[in-house]
């Protein structure tokens, strides 16, 4: 579904991605871990072409993501993204937030969009918050709305960039549980997280990035219990 070949990205003189190679198959859950500044967010943003790349290739379903205009819109509608900050539309109700994409981008009728939004809000456990505004919700609830909003576009791939990092500790679990359910349903996902227990449980593969490179990649069991690279070991012992 996703293929990154020798992806390189610079911000001015700063080399942020130094040749990333990764393939993600349909239904796979890949978790990316690594220190701050190692290029994790930048790499995720290259996948849906929120960042252009300087060398290499990113493919989504065997087509380059370096496209423009209508094609780019179409690509982005197939790739859902959830960020650390929830960035919901503050002037819209929860229900309207989830209905917006299907109506404006997919051209669904209001009626269809409402049915879908209600179904998705129920799925993330927020059916009773449909008429509230984002400011009336906790961070965990807002993040669950953000996930419902992304799912409303019926994406083939979901990208999560530290979806629980901005949350109070007691709100992390409810968001992880929604993502865990998506994994169980077979959603293809690439997740950047510092929640190692969650990574271990949900990932098919774990990638350790450092200084713009993939240092080590393996099944969770191997990465967490028997990391091969000294930098992986050092990182894991610093956070566990």
Give me the residues that bind ligand ADP (CB under 6 A), please: 11, 14, 16, 34, 36-42
Q: How many CB atoms lie within 10 A of CB 112?
A: 14
Q: Judged by CB under 5 A, which stretch of 1-9, 40-48, 70-78, 216-224 contacts Mg ion?
A: 40-48
Which does residue 38 touch among Mg ion, ligand ADP, none (CB within 5 to 8 A, set by kind)?
A: ligand ADP
Residue corresponding to tokens 């269809």? 112
Give 82-104 as a DSSP string: E-SS----TTS-HHHHHHHHHHH
Closest approach of Cβ 190 to Mg ion, in Å? 13
In Å, how far from its chain's centre is CA 96?
Answer: 22
Q: For residues 209 and 229, is the Cβ–Cβ distance under 8 A?
A: no
Asked if 42 interacts with Mg ion (CB under 5 A), we say no
Closest approach of Cβ 97 to ligand ADP, in Å? 25
Which does residue 16 touch among ligand ADP, Mg ion, none (CB within 5 to 8 A, set by kind)?
A: ligand ADP
Report the relative pairing of strands 63-64 and 157-161 from DSSP bridges. unpaired
Closest approach of Cβ 44 to ligand ADP, in Å? 8
Closest approach of Cβ 81 to ligand ADP, in Å? 13
Residue 81 to residue 17: CA distance in whole angstroms: 20
Residue 81 to residue 83: CA distance in whole angstroms: 7
Closest approach of Cβ 14 to ligand ADP, in Å? 6
In Å, how far from its chain's centre is CA 79?
Answer: 9
SS (HEC) of 108-160? CCHHHHHHHHHHHHHHCCCHHHCCCCHHHCCHHHHHHHHHHHHHCCCCCEEEE
Q: Judged by CB under 5 A, which stretch of 33-41, 53-61, 215-223, 224-232 contacts Mg ion?
A: 33-41
Asked if 41 interacts with Mg ion (CB under 5 A), we say yes
For ligand ADP, which is the closer residue by CB, 36 or 62? 36
Asked if 232 interacts with Mg ion (CB under 5 A), we say no
For ligand ADP, which is the closer residue by CB, 43 or 86? 43
For ligand ADP, which is the closer residue by CB, 34 or 80? 34
Closest approach of Cβ 82 to ligand ADP, in Å? 14
Q: For residues 150 and 174, is the Cβ–Cβ distance under 8 A?
A: no
For ligand ADP, which is the closer residue by CB, 27 or 37? 37
Residue numbers at the binding site for Mg ion (CB under 5 A) = 41
């Amino acid at each position: 579904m996703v293929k990154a070949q020798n992806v390189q990205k610079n911000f001015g003189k700063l080399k942020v991605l130094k040749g990333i190679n990764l393939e993600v198959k349909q239904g796979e859950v890949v978790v990316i871990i690594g220190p701050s500044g190692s290029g994790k967010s930048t790499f995720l943003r290259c996948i849906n072409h929120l960042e252009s790349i300087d060398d290499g290739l990113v493919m989504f379903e065997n087509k380059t993501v370096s496209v423009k205009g209508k094609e780019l819109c179409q690509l982005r509608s197939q790739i859902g993204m959830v960020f650390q900050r929830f960035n919901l539309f503050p002037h819209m109700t929860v229900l309207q937030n989830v209905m917006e994409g299907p109506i404006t981008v997919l051209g669904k009728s209001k009626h269809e969009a409402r049915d879908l939004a209600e179904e998705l809000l129920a799925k993330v456990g927020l059916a009773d918050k449909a008429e509230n505004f984002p400011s009336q919700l906790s961070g965990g609830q807002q993040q669950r709305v953000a996930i419902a909003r992304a799912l409303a576009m019926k994406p083939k791939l979901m990208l999560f960039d530290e979806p629980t990092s901005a949350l109070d500790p007691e709100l992390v679990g409810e968001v992880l549980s929604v993502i865990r359910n998506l994994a169980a349903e077979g959603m293809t996902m690439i997740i950047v997280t510092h929640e190692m227990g969650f990574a271990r449980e949900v990932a098919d593969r774990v990638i350790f990035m450092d200084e713009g490179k993939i240092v080590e990649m393996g099944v969770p069991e191997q990465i967490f219990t028997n990391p091969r690279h000294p930098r992986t070991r050092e990182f894991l012992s610093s956070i566990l």
